[in-house]
A and B are shown apart, each in its own frame.
Chain A
């Protein structure tokens, strides 16, 4: 039995220790906002925060995050930075199919927590692990910068 702290709630779960966090979230807990894309940490669709840091949940064994603070897209609006990112995403109509966007937003939020004025190179470095097949990258870049201006003024 493992105890996980997901979005501020404690979950006691009977799962194998080597089970990737992604499947615990999606198939056991029922939080489907975090997406499966590649299973080998190459697309970023499964990005969640562990103690504020972005990680790829598809390759993170659940035992490694027991006792840590797990935050998924479903709770991001309670985070002031995350909320700004979501607002900027809506304002610039970033999404298309939307499947990768939970992961994009989680990565962007983590970037803006430590760097409110990211350069293009900073954005490339933080976001290059998140694939978008619809090609929304230009708007992702603009939305990160827009959200950054608001985080600064918070």
Chain B
């Protein structure tokens, strides 16, 4: 696979495509992915024309299509999603190749340019890679794209030979006519195929006929990622490029007060000092000079109104806010009345901290602003948003801003934000040369857009058998959606903030879920597992409390409440069985052992996890083993599913065990991996993944593994120690016995 390269903006792209690869290109677009917008077109235009010369407007030719085949038979798949480790650069080509009948190892992948109208995710409504949607959204439209292309190529061959299309077969990039043994490669057919009308009906293969889907396929991005040739945004290098590192106000809302410019400019290799109202950059020949220059610059700040901000103050405000009634997200029966009238009820408050994403690749962005155009090199989950913000900052029209997207060195929601792009553009606008802005790790942790703090009030009542008769859940937290996609906030309910809570799967007759919006004085952002990472922990922990109060086994208790959700019950039972639930655990004189379970239906995927933990005398919690059962519908690339669950477990476990962002005197107290601790190889649990075979449409897989692990761990800690964890990260002091 070649390095990813964004194409030029749409007007120029067509020209480039037409001149590329012998100038003959067959292009297809996907009506299913082309959601809304002025350029939505009927299915008839699904197949584009090909032409030997640039005739200007070519009817139906869609330059930003998903599939291109040139005269040499080279198939280029344009990736509308970005690869950030989740394997989408393998699974999406698998979907297309399955129906197109081409050898996956011979296709070229190309990163789509920024284009919200053409490359919008059908679920998310924008050119966004996030929320575990890539395969879910592409499942049908991209298979149909492959099938439509194959049908047109077959038709072209059939006409050439004067035979019935049904008597021809496409395999491995070649159309053959078995009766006569004739064969034509796709490349030989593109001219003829381009003149044909597209099929109006595009049937898809039956799952039983799949050759690629459902089989383990090696990642297409692996070779470049093991030899150092894979290019991430931070690896961008351009002629005359300068490198800058930055400091932004350490206090939210603060402003730049003073700098020692002469000292910074005195550092060898430093070229320039650039300033914004709330940030400063030192521009140099390389990062080392830039860092030294920034130290010499010694910026000071007007801290502003949040100079005394502390986490404790934010939480006290949230506690007060959580006493007020919230927007009602779900109201089945009469939960409050039932709880008030019950003799047997429980209450609890659960709290989750602010979190940083701490991607291994620190935030960075390279920008070249010229009088008539702006080019951006970076890794982003939202190229069209990056394009949009750059157009606003430079004052250039949208089509003059070109985004070259790259491999992403960890997204996890951080690169759904374009703050780092906006900042780099604002600095680069002050220069002639291309500017690469690289944040230090400290800047990356402290100026992350954090996952919200959540403060949840839970209450429930139990019936005479100990089963829940009512459930009340009031969530207090900031609304990411109100900033990010305000049209999705309906009647005061942020769908992300209540995800995994509003759609509680357990059969409880009275359920009330409320949302109280409370904003800290800074923006908050999505984090791997989004709303589910918060609510699944809270819901599955509190349900475990109910089981314990009823003196019932946590697996039996859940099973009894899931009679109407067979797929969820099936993963619950499978995980418990594979984990040896109920069987004795190891024991030792210095560690306490316990098992905990979680079950969830989020991102269209059913999952249960059993965690085994051990707790030392000093309260340290070790995650020993995780057994996961998953039903994510059709497993497109099973090994990617396993990998995503392994990774989700590690990501979620680091947060449960260690991670929090705290504020004192307005400043973030953490700064690097020594105080924002990430799980290491010696702390890695054994992870076993069991996939339930299914022919249902695929569910998401990038995030469920991360949301399921937190309650499995804390429920296991309860089993081991009798201590219920209601605040994350786990406080080892509270578990100490010696």
Contact = CB atoms under 8 A, between A and B. Distances in A.
A151 interface: no
Contact of B362 (A19, A36, A42): A36
Contacts of A124: 681-682
Interface in B667-724: 672-674, 678-682, 684, 686-687
B235 A16 contact: no
A134 B681 contact: no
Contacts of A42: 672-674
Interface in B637-692: 639, 643, 646-651, 672-674, 678-682, 684, 686-687
Interface string A105-146: 100000000000000000110011111111111111100000
B672 A38 contact: yes
Given A19-B288, A73-B228, A95-B219, A30 B237 contact: yes
A90 B218 contact: yes
Contacts of B673: 38, 40, 42-43, 131
B231 interface: yes
A128 B681 contact: yes
Interface stretch (B81-89, B164-172, B199-207, B303-311): B81-89
Interface in A67-86: 72-74, 76-77, 86
B286 A98 contact: no
B222 A36 contact: no
A101 B410 contact: no
B16 interface: no
A20 B678 CA distance: 24
Contacts of B87: 96
B407 interface: yes
A27 interface: yes
B555 to A, nearest CB: 25
A138 to B, nearest CB: 6
Contact of A100 (B222, B360, B651): B360
A76 B646 contact: no
Contacts of B411: 97
B441 interface: yes
B679 A135 contact: yes
Q: Which interface class (under 10, 10 to 19, 20 to 34, 35 or more) fits B?
A: 35 or more
A27 to B, nearest CB: 3
B643 A99 contact: no
Contact of B650 (A35, A73, A94, A135): A135
Nearest to A77: B227
A101 B219 CA distance: 14
A56 B410 CA distance: 21
Contacts of B227: 33, 73-74, 76-77, 86
Chief secondary structure at chain A's binding surface: loop
A137 B684 contact: yes
A102 B232 CA distance: 13
Contacts of B681: 123-124, 127-128, 130, 132, 137, 140-141
A23 B687 CA distance: 37
B358 A96 contact: no
Contact of A45 (B230, B268, B360): B360
Nearest to B408: A97
Contacts of A74: 227-229
B243 A27 contact: yes
A41 to B, nearest CB: 10
A128 B358 CA distance: 18
Given A27-B243, A131-B680, A90 B85 contact: no
Contacts of A20: 288
A89 B678 CA distance: 22
B182 interface: no
Nearest to A73: B228
A74 B441 CA distance: 24
Contacts of B647: 96, 134-136
B225 A95 contact: yes
Nearest to A123: B681
Contacts of A100: 360
Contact of A99 (B268, B410, B440): B410
Contacts of B651: 133-135
A101 B43 CA distance: 43
Contacts of B648: 135
A78 B682 CA distance: 30
23 contacts: A16-B288, A19-B286, A32-B228, A33-B229, A35-B232, A35-B360, A39-B291, A43-B673, A73-B228, A77-B227, A90-B218, A94-B222, A97-B410, A98-B221, A98-B409, A99-B232, A102-B228, A124-B681, A127-B682, A129-B680, A132-B360, A135-B651, A137-B680
Question: Nearest 8 pairs between A and B by C-beta?
Answer: A33-B228, A135-B650, A99-B409, A96-B85, A98-B225, A97-B85, A27-B286, A73-B228
Given A36-B234, A97-B410, A131-B680, 4 more contacts: A38-B673, A72-B228, A98-B407, A132-B681
